[in-house]
Chains A and B, each alone.
Chain A
Amino acid sequence: MCGIIGCVGRGKDTLGTLVHGLEKLEYRGYDSAGVALGGAELSVCRSSGKIGAFKKVLTERDIAGPLGIGHTRWSTHGPPTDENAHPHLDCAGEVAVVHNGIIENYRSLRDELVAAGHTFTSDTDTEVIPHLIEDERDSATDPETAFRSAIERIEGSYAIVAVFAGTELLLGARNDSPLVIGLDEEAIFLASDVPAFRDFTDRVIYLEDGEIARVDGGLEVTTGDGTRVEKTVSRVEWDPEETGKSGYDHFMLKEIHEQPRALRQCLSGRVDELGGTVDLGDIGELRPSAVQFVACGTSYHAAYYAALLFESAGIPAQAYLASEYATAVPPIGEALVVGITQSGETADTLSALREADRRGARTLAVTNTVGSTADRETDHTMYIRSGPEIGVAATKTFAGQLVAVNLLSLATGEGETRRREIVPALRDLPGDVQSVLDDSTAEEIAATYHDAGAYFFIGRGIQYPVALEGALKLKEISYKHAEGFAAGELKHGPLALVQEDTPVFALVTGDDEAAKKTVGNVKEVEARNAPVVAVTDKKSDVAMYADHVLEIPDTHPRSGAVLANVQLQLVAYHIANRLDRSIDKPRNLAKSVTVE
Chain B
Amino acid sequence: MSRLPFYIIVGLLLVAGIATSVHRHLQFEIPWIPGEQRQVWEVEAVINFNAQNGPVEVDLALPSHQNGFRVLTENTASSGYGLAYQADELGRQAQWTIREAAGSQQLYYSVQMLVSPDARPPVQTPPGLRTATPWESPYESAASQLIDRAWARSANNETFARELILDVNGERQGENARLLLTQETPSALIVRLLNQAGVQAREVSGLLLEDGRRRQSLSSWIQVFNEPANQWSLFNPMTGEQGQPDNLLLWETGGRAVLEVQGGTNSRVAFSMLTHHQPASAAVRNHYSEDTLLNFSIHSLPLEEQALFQTILLIPIGALVVVFLRVLVGIKTSGTFMPVLIALAFIQTTLLTGLIGFLLIVAVGLVIRNYLSYLNLLLVARVSAVIITVIAIISIFTVLAYRMGLSAGLTVTFFPMIILAWTIERMSILWEEEGPKQVLIQGGGSLLTAVLAYLAMNNPWVRHITFNFLGVQLILMALILLLGNYTGYRLLELRRFKPITDDEKPS
The reply to whether chain A is a binding partner of chain B is no
Binding site for B on A (CB under 8 A): none
Binding site for A on B (CB under 8 A): none
